[in-house]
Amino acid sequence: MTGVVEEVGLGTMSLQRFAAALASAEPAPGGSTAAAVPGALAAGLVAMAARLTMASDPFSDLAFDLDAIAQEADELRVELLELVDEDAEAFARVIEALGPPRATPDEIERAYEAAVEPPSHVCRLSSRVLELADEVAARGDPHAAADARVAKLFASASLEAAAVTVETLSSAASARRREASRRSR
């Protein structure tokens, strides 16, 4: 695996250090790892906007609904930050499989397939964060509306970035399969 991925959990790294790791010449962490970060930030903003609304009227039915949203957003934030590390580790295994020494075609294919899982999960989680952000933006305190709208933008960016990665890794895995099939003929 690459140096910074082994060194410390990326999800718990300072933002400054994480950005420096992205800027390094190492292939991981890369775009797919970074894709989870705006989703986690979006989830944090959703939870904050929900809690600000709850504080303005703590005994209303809306506060009860928003408490559930805030709790779910907290869980999504934690999961997305865990995916930062999972993604970097999965992609580091792809780099490892590509050698030297080069792994077998089956091992390379399995590494690519495994590397698709974290960004696929980021897509699912960011999509849910986007739904929660929509709900808080529509029903929340007007003073927190900007935070909910920023959360929607971050969740959308996370979703799109992770989808690009899934598409790219899936294409690479397909190309490897075709190449292996041609060689075996």
Provide the percentage of residues in the chain whose pLDDT is more than 90. 62
- Measured between alpha carbons, how far is 175 from 140 in angstroms, rounded to an integer? 47
Say how far apart CA 44 and CA 98 lie, in whole Å: 37
* Domain that residue 89 falls in: 29-184
The Cα 32–Cα 165 span in angstroms is 6
- Greater model confidence, 24 or 172: 24
For residue 83, the model assigns a pLDDT of: 95
Of 47-51, 88-92, 180-184, least confident by mean pLDDT is 180-184
- Domain contains 3: no
Indicate which CATH number applies to the domain containing 72. 1.20.120.680
pLDDT confidence of residue 125 = 98
| Residue 22 falls inside a structural domain | no
Among 162, 171, 135, 163, smallest CA distance to 151 is for 135
Q: Is the pLDDT of residue 105 over 70?
A: yes
Q: Return the pLDDT at 1.
A: 42
| Inside any domain, residue 155 | yes
Q: Looking at the chain, list the stretches that DSSP marks H as alpha helix, in order from N- to C-terminal side.
A: 3-7, 15-23, 31-56, 61-97, 105-139, 145-184
Tokens, residue 42: 């979006």
3 pLDDT higher than 60? no
Residue 59, pLDDT score: 64
The tally of domains found in the chain comes to 1
Q: In this structure, is residue 161 part of a structural domain?
A: yes
In a domain, 19, yes or no: no
What's the rounded Cα separation, in Å, for the pair 99 and 172? 16
The answer to the question of residue 20 being in a domain is no
Mean pLDDT of 97-116: 89
pTM given for the model: 0.88
**Contact, 4 vs 10, CB < 8 A?**
yes
Asked if residue 5 belongs to a domain, the reply is no
Token digits of residue 62: 């809306």
Tens-place pLDDT, residues 146-164: 999 999 999 999 999 999 9
Assigned domain for 4 exists? no
